[in-house]
Amino acid sequence: MPFTVTIDSNSGFCFGVVKAVEKAEHYLTNGHQLFSLGDIVHNTCEVERLENMGLKTVTTQQLPNITNGTILFRAHGEPPISYQQAASQNLQVIDATCPVVLKLQQRIRAAWEKMKPLNGQIIIYGKKGHPEVIGLLGQINNEGILIEDSNDLSSIDFTRPIELFSQTTKSISGFQQLISNIEKQACNKDSFTWHDTICRQVSNRVPKMEQFATTHDVVIFVGGAQSSNAKSLFNECLKHNPNSHFVIDANDLKQEWFPLQTQKVGVCGATSTPQWLLEQVADAITNQFASLSS
């Protein structure tokens, strides 16, 4: 059987990231200077590609130093203070907030207004410090309670009303477990409300990734070192295929990963992994290792 390399058709940018990158490319190709508040995507290879086109990445701390320019707010979303800061500095904003995230921001803000007279609590299941979570908490003056796992449950007052939301990229199983834990401890079950706000385009990749991993001899997962989604999906690959390996780019490939009996190699990635990078890694595998197994 010949040596084949297949790219997972379900891998690559989610639609929110696609739109953000397209907006940046469109602006940059017209010769305009563009700033991005934070990395436009958690993938250094893609960030470097866009920076070579002229994109300048700045931090929140550096934002006050920019005036009369154009800044892009990435798909993760931003808290209201970022918009206020941009307006005060006469910055034009290209808002690339993912529509799914934007809707969640609006729902959390509305829930907070509803819960205030009830002395209720807004709970967000998410990762501390994640850009999306910072944006979500910012909608409610950082008065929400962030829960990363069951160890944080002590932060909740179970005698008061509770309204629970999730970061869009968290796992469904983890969210369901959190719901169960809160239901067990809530003093009044009727005062606990939860909303499944996990993006299905992201969560649906898990079973597809599992299937992809099991149908290949070797799996090469391409992702950014800082991407939570990449780490999570790679672990799913590893669970179902011990011959799974994580790479940032083609330079990380190792010959010992492709023993003589290797026939089917799968290349997959995260929602923050660009298609061009998946193709680059797949081509490198074919060029460097196909002859070794023949």
Binding residues for dimethylallyl diphosphate: 42, 76, 130, 227-229, 272
* Annotation marks residue 132 as catalytic: yes
Q: Cα–Cα distance between 37 and 47 in angstroms, integer?
A: 12
Residues 188, 189, 193, 199, CA torsion sign: positive
Which residues line the annotated binding site for [4Fe-4S] cluster?
14, 98, 199
Q: What's the helix, strand, coil split of the chain in %, to 5?
A: 45, 15, 35
Q: Are 163 and 111 in contact (CB under 8 A)?
A: yes
Return binding residues. 14, 42, 76, 98, 130, 168, 199, 227-229, 272
- At 172, which helix (H) or strand (E)? helix 172-185
Give me the phi and psi of 44, to 5 degrees please: -65, -35
Selecting among 25, 48, 51, 132, the annotated active-site residue is 132
Closest CA to 242 of 209, 219, 276: 219
Residues catalogued as catalytic: 132
